[in-house]
Amino acid sequence: MKINKISLAIMLSCHSVYASEQLEQVNVLAQDSVGYHLGRAALEKISVTDKSINHILLKSPLVRGASEANNSLTQGEISPPNITFYGEKYYNNNFLINGISTNDNVNPIGLGNQSVLPRARTLTVDPESIPTGHPQLFWVSPDLIQSVEVLDSNIPSRYGQFTGGVVEAELLEPDFKRHSGKISYRTTRDSWTKFHIDGQLRESFNKAEYPLFQPKFTKHQYHIQVNQPLSNSSALLFAYDRQDSFIPQHQRYLKQTNKQKRRNETFLLSYKNELNGNNVLLTNLMYSPHIGDYYLDNVKNGAFRESGGGWLASLRWKNYNQLGLLTTDLSYRTTKNQTAYDAQHLSNYYVTPSINWLSEPDPDNDEFNTAREGGIGKKFTQQKQIQFKQSLDLHKWQTAQLEHNLSLGWEYQYNQSQLRQPNLSVQRTYSHYLMGERFTQKQCDECIPGEQYVVSRTFYYPVTGKVDHNRVALYLQNRMKWHNFTLTPGVRAEYGQFMEKWNIAPRIALNYDVLGLGKTYISTGFNRYYADDLLDYQLRSSFKFKGEEERRLDFSGWDYKTNQFTTNYRGSTLKTPYSDEVNVGITHRFNNAILEAKWVQRSSKKQFVTKREDNLLLLTNSGYGKTNNISLQVSNPEVIKLPSVELGWKIGVSYQKTKSNQTIDYTQSDWSNFGITKMIYKGKLRDIDQMPSQSFNDPWRASLQLNSYFPALNLSWLQQLNYESGSRYYERKGARCSAVNSECAGYEGLVVKLSEIKQSRNITLDWTFSWKKAMSQHQAISMDLSVFNVLNRVSKANIVDDGSGGSYQTYKPGRQFWLGAKYEW
């Protein structure tokens, strides 16, 4: 006898589903204020520029993005933007694909807040750097996703390794019913984009004189998907998705133009078999690399590639038995982040007759113009994981008047991370003067005869570093219902080999159905969330020594010495960062509308910051902060049908305030290094832990979505009005307080003086038109036109320090068009 399958929708109390050719979606009422679910139909209706899950999540006012991101200067980039939940650091979320953690815990801050390669990486080489990372190891397009679960508060105990939010994506699954597929293409370019640029940068920007000035670009998005049933209970699916961007870069001193390239692509092969009525098998094999081709600024043969991503293989077995649903997951993941220069060695020359190119002119004397050539070879980090986990969701049962819904499970992760520089790399510095005279010797080694010779060589030796950081976790949760009350206590216990500690995370949520009619719910929760391991400094400690040789006055030999690197790193003895959450919410359904209001407070504790001891950097647990967020969302669960149009709408608004002693990320120095415990902000003396958030800091965010479908025209029109109150830019300067200074309120000692610049509010309007024509019962063609920032409003993004004591303003892009087409069968 076939056992009924158990619903696993942990956040649904009731739902209504309505279907239409163009407005198909699922609306849910989240009684425990857990989060929200986006199905395949909903994902297709959300209009974004570059295709990533993060771009979709930023459409919600609850999610914050960096003020530096998506500015007019770097419109050619396609990396996923960073996101935060409730003031937590953007690298403290947990991204899962089919239940498998896909977080980078080696160098998640490699692309910075902006999720763009830092300018410094294109101006010079840093032999002590590790390859650039991103919080997400895989940059998977939403076109490959069946559904996304976004959990932001009252997060169940089955989830761990985060202090921010949980984003769980389920890949496309094969369909037993029929052969099907789709092909799609989408594009934009600079000529379809309006740029808003600071006046002082306009000339340099238009000439693309710096690597991250991108006035010219072309983007392409491709997708192909084929589903093939093998029997009435098994099927195979193949999908390929790719995003390309081509960005010319002008080298003003080399007088040449190079073509930079970015590419994100994913190959997916999925097999599903319903073995019998009680057993379902799902296997996936995914290869998802991403690359970026760059050029060092005005360096001959200075090309290099930043790459990441890798392989993911998974097997999921669902067994419906007498106890309930037993889900078993086995997976293997291997990824590599790599920085690879075309050249193995780097040379710093002066311009002489045989060195006929220029890298940097000397402003006072052309005789000292310099020329650079090459790179420093290859370095990579590799992360491997084998994960085995099981969960058991028991059938509901009752004791007296109490209904129980128990879930429990365990998981084991074998994790290994390494850093490698396979080969020796040498940096040479030349001089064209010897003992005060121009160099003219013809017989010499390590030289250009009669022009210049090597005065110093630095050897960067091969490096191998490895860290094993296995983890085990257990969890238990019981959803108990008594009359109109639902209490969900849970606990998660985790042990990490890297920190050698057990962490116990209690979770509890309470929900009350006010009238017992399933219309009005009041909820609250008290929860603790622990972060993942961070291996950055531990692997950096593998860089220990470099060899240096010098010769200044003659050619009698090299003076050799072995030095430590300028900075050494140590993981230190650490505690696991955690965040405590308190929340209260109310959800009410009236007529054809659902209202959800929620207050969430997160208190971040034991967060990572950096302490400096001479030339040693080590992580400490001195970071802390507090965030309060209030949000309101209203939407219609059922389509409004008028004579010629069908309408759906949604309104959302949130206000957030964060205070923290952290400025940007874990590389920030501990304030105790400077003996600072106070700051002056808005003319008042305050504790340093009251510092406002330095990024991801728009206080207010709101959106209004209106989706219109015109059946007679086969046309849908999606409109979204976006509001941001404007980010804050802060300038921090050290100062000394004295008793005579009124701002210091009698305090004497070092302080931080914090100056605030408020950016103007941003209001933008986005449109997407989608037309679909059925060719037969299962075949259709469709076209879509997206217009972002329809009114071409000028919106400020952020103020950027130019590195030379000045600053410039960045702006969001103006009006931008995207055009796409799709064929389905």
From CA 215, how far away is CA 201, in angstroms rounded?
Answer: 12
| Cβ density class 104-125: b for 16+ within 10 Å, e for less | bbbbbbbbbbbbbbebebbeeb
Per-residue tokens: 728:
């804050």
H or E stretch at 221: strand 218-229
* Beta-carbon count within 10 A of 86 CB: 25
From CA 219, how far away is CA 83, in angstroms rounded?
Answer: 23
| Separation of CA 429 from chain center | 38
From CA 472, how far away is CA 557, in angstroms rounded?
Answer: 57
* Structure confidence at residue 554 (pLDDT): 64
* Structure confidence at residue 570 (pLDDT): 65
Number of Cα atoms under 13 Å in the Cβ half of residue 485: 9
Residues sharing a CB contact under 8 Å with residue 510, sequence separation 6 or more, in sequence order: 485, 486, 487, 488, 523, 524, 525
Instruction: Tell me: pLDDT of 801 over 90.
Output: no
* Structure confidence at residue 30 (pLDDT): 45
Q: Is residue 9 part of a domain?
A: no
What single letter denotes the amino acid at residue 20? S
pLDDT digits (tens, 9 = 90+) for 517-545: 999 999 999 999 999 999 998 898 888 78
* Beta-carbon count within 10 A of 563 CB: 10
In 3D space, the residue among 325, 298, 329 whose CA is nearest the CA of residue 312 turns out to be 329
Structural domain count, the chain: 1
From CA 495, how far away is CA 472, in angstroms rounded?
Answer: 5
Number of Cα atoms under 13 Å in the Cβ half of residue 185: 1
| Separation of CA 10 from chain center | 26
* Structure confidence at residue 32 (pLDDT): 63
Q: What percent of the chain has pLDDT over 90?
A: 75
* 3-class DSSP assignment, residue 200: helix
Strand partners, 578: 530, 605
Q: What percent of the chain has pLDDT over 70?
A: 94
What CATH number does residue 241 fall under? 2.40.170.20
User: Would you say how long the chain is, in residues?
Assistant: 825
Instruction: Write the burial class of residue 684 (CB in 10 Å: 0-12 exposed, 13-18 middle, 19+ buried).
Output: exposed
Strand partners, 724: 701, 762
Q: Is residue 608 part of a domain?
A: yes
**Per-residue CA distances from 300 to 253, 304, 342, 370 (Å):** 10, 12, 11, 12
What single letter denotes the amino acid at residue 421? Q
Number of Cα atoms under 13 Å in the Cβ half of residue 431: 15
From CA 628, how far away is CA 505, in angstroms rounded?
Answer: 21
Residues 816, 785: contact at Cβ < 8 Å?
Answer: no
32-36, 50-54, 157-161, 574-578: which has the minimum mean pLDDT? 32-36
User: What average pLDDT does this structure show over 382-399?
Assistant: 96
HEC assignment per residue over 737-801: ECCCCHHHCCCCEEEEEEEEEECCCEEEEEEEEEEEEECCCCCEEEEEEEEECCCCCCCEEEEEE
Q: Is residue 108 part of a domain?
A: yes
* Structure confidence at residue 740 (pLDDT): 83
From CA 658, how far away is CA 481, in angstroms rounded?
Answer: 35
Residues 428, 456: contact at Cβ < 8 Å?
Answer: yes
Average pLDDT in the chain: 91
* Beta-carbon count within 10 A of 259 CB: 11
Instruction: Tell me: pLDDT of 24 over 70.
Output: no
* Beta-carbon count within 10 A of 279 CB: 14
pLDDT digits (tens, 9 = 90+) for 460-517: 999 999 999 999 999 999 999 999 999 999 999 999 999 889 999 999 999 999 999 9
* Structure confidence at residue 68 (pLDDT): 81
Q: What is the pTM of this model?
A: 0.93
pLDDT digits (tens, 9 = 90+) for 59-116: 999 999 988 889 999 999 999 999 999 999 999 999 999 999 999 999 999 999 999 9
β pairing state of 397-399 and 452-460? unpaired
* 3-class DSSP assignment, residue 41: helix
Per-residue tokens: 726:
């404007």
From CA 601, how far away is CA 599, in angstroms rounded?
Answer: 7
| Separation of CA 513 from chain center | 37
* Structure confidence at residue 82 (pLDDT): 97
Q: Is residue 6 part of a domain?
A: no
From CA 357, how far away is CA 390, in angstroms rounded?
Answer: 62
* Structure confidence at residue 85 (pLDDT): 96
Per-residue tokens: 453:
């010779």
Instruction: Tell me: pLDDT of 12 over 60.
Output: no
Q: Is residue 560 part of a domain?
A: yes
Instruction: Tell me: pLDDT of 260 over 50.
Output: yes
* Beta-carbon count within 10 A of 216 CB: 19
From CA 222, how far away is CA 49, in angstroms rounded?
Answer: 14
Alpha-carbon dihedral 569, 571, 574, 576, rounded to 10 degrees: 110
Instruction: Tell me: pLDDT of 275 over 90.
Output: yes
| Separation of CA 145 from chain center | 17
The residue ranking higher by pLDDT, 697 or 801, is: 697
Per-residue tokens: 731:
């300038």
Q: Is residue 8 part of a domain?
A: no
User: What average pLDDT does this structure show over 43-53?
Assistant: 94
* Structure confidence at residue 21 (pLDDT): 39
* Beta-carbon count within 10 A of 165 CB: 25
From CA 250, how far away is CA 735, in angstroms rounded?
Answer: 42
* Structure confidence at residue 10 (pLDDT): 30
* Structure confidence at residue 553 (pLDDT): 63
From CA 518, how far away is CA 617, in angstroms rounded?
Answer: 55
What single letter denotes the amino acid at residue 725? S
From CA 361, how far away is CA 375, in angstroms rounded?
Answer: 20
pLDDT range class, residue 226, cuts 50, 70, 90: very high
Per-residue tokens: 72:
């007019």
Residues sharing a CB contact under 8 Å with residue 808, sequence separation 6 or more, in sequence order: 198, 200, 201, 799, 800, 802
**End-to-end CA distance of the chain, in Å?**
36
Q: Is residue 171 part of a domain?
A: yes
Q: Is residue 504 part of a domain?
A: yes
From CA 714, how far away is CA 300, in angstroms rounded?
Answer: 55
Instruction: Express the helix, strand and coil content of the chain in percent, nearest 5 each.
Output: 5, 55, 40
From CA 165, how far away is CA 149, in angstroms rounded?
Answer: 11
**CA angle (741 as vertex; 737, 747 as ends), nearest 5:** 45
From CA 307, how far away is CA 582, in angstroms rounded?
Answer: 40
Residues 431, 456: contact at Cβ < 8 Å?
Answer: no
From CA 94, how far away is CA 159, in angstroms rounded?
Answer: 9
Q: Which residue range forms the structural domain that includes residue 781?
A: 14-824
Residues 618, 588: contact at Cβ < 8 Å?
Answer: no
In 3D space, the residue among 22, 192, 21, 165 whose CA is nearest the CA of residue 96 turns out to be 165
* DSSP E strand stretches across 437-551: 437-438, 447-448, 452-460, 463-468, 471-482, 485-496, 501-513, 520-530, 545-550
